[in-house]
Structure formats: structure tokens, C-alpha cells
Amino acid sequence: MPFDRTLLPDPVSYFENHGLILKGPRSANWKTTTCNFHGGSDSMRVNVTSGAWVCMSCGEKGGDVLAYEIKDGGREFVDAAKALGCWVDDGLRQPWAPACSPHHRTDGQRWQHSMRG
Ligand SMILES: [Zn+2]
């Protein structure tokens, strides 16, 4: 399976990149934030270590940031893994797979353009 879980982005960076503001004590493993699934302002809990998330109000939940990407982005597993830069074929990161940083994403698009000719 070309999915490499170790390449998943840091949960805090991932959720903050999605516009979520994580609230709670600095030492707390679980932070409170907005639930984008039902629009609740403070019902989502996210685990900053594992990336697990659960909404205390509407019940949406997942075990990691990949599950969030699938649910929030409406993606298939493979597409979500590629979007997070965690899909690896033949032991090499595919040049067309958008990585987590905007810099790599730009490179990927450029590569696609050159392939289309
Ligand atoms: Zn919710």
C-alpha cells in the first residue's frame, strides 16, 4: 500500500491551515475548535498528537487528519492521501502529488502543465 502514515502533516498545522482556531490550555492534548460539519463554534475536539477529532454536538468524528480531509474535502481515501502528500508509489513521492506546503503545490501544478504540453 503506497500510503505512508508517517508523512501525515502535524495535526495542529493541518487544522490551523483549515482555518480552525484551536483553543485550550497549552498542555492539553485535546483542543476545542469550530465544527465545520454542522457549524458549531466550539463543539469540535481535536487531539493535537494523533489528529483525532470528534464533534460533541453533531457526532462527526475521525481518527486522524486524513479522516478529516476525506470528510471535510469530500475526497476518496487515495485523493485525500495525495492531497496530504502521504501517497507514495514505488518508494518515491510522486511529483504530481501536492505536498503540504504551497511551494511544493506550485511545483506540482507546473509539472502537470508541462506534461499536458
Ligand atoms: Zn458538529
**Predicted TM-score (pTM) of this structure:** 0.74
Predicted pLDDT at 98 = 54
Q: How far apart are CA 45 and CA 9, in angstroms?
A: 18
**Model pLDDT for residues 34-71, shown as the tens digit of each residue:** 999 999 999 999 999 999 999 999 999 999 999 999 99
Which CATH number covers residue 37? Answer: 3.90.580.10
Predicted pLDDT at 106 = 42
Distance 45 CA to ligand 1 centre (A): 10
Nearest to 8 by CA among 77, 95, 107, 109: 77
Count up the domains in the chain and report the number: 1
Surface-to-core class of residue 6, CB atoms within 10 Å of its CB (0-12 exposed, 13-18 middle, 19+ buried): exposed
- What residues are neighbours of ligand 1 (ion), with CB under 5 Å? 35, 37-38, 40, 55, 57-58
Segments forming the whole domain that contains residue 23: 5-116
Q: How far apart are CA 95 and CA 108, in angstroms?
A: 6
pLDDT band with cut points at 50, 70 and 90 for residue 111: very low
Distance 104 CA to ligand 1 centre (A): 32
